[in-house]
Amino acid sequence: MPLYMALCTDKPGALDIRKANREAHLAYVAETGCVVLAGPLLDEAGEMAGSLIILDLPDIEAAKAWGAADPYAQAGLFESVRLQEWKRVVG
């Protein structure tokens, strides 16, 4: 299956939303089983301010659907989301 990158930027001042929904987000990641690699983006203060997620899914529509069902997205955490097919070269 192809890989897709989701580059998500949190809304300014949304750290409390992220923290309140983190357990549900991590449970969703575990239960769906399609996340190859993921982690938070950090701001200058070292606080979580976004996400980088690599998904292994059959097509871009499945990646969009996965993202829409993510508890972070459902809570309105993200200011922007860039979703694009990604090719692994190293790692």
Ordered domains of the chain (ranges, CATH): 3-53+60-86 (3.30.70.1060)
Distance CA 83, CA 65 (A): 11
Q: What is the pLDDT of residue 20?
A: 98
Q: Count how many residues are written for the chain.
A: 91
Alpha helices in 1-91 (DSSP H): 15-32, 60-69, 71-74
Q: What is the pLDDT of residue 1?
A: 80
**Which residues in the chain land under pLDDT 70?**
none
Distance CA 37, CA 91 (A): 11
Q: What is the pLDDT of residue 41?
A: 97
Q: What is the pLDDT of residue 91?
A: 82
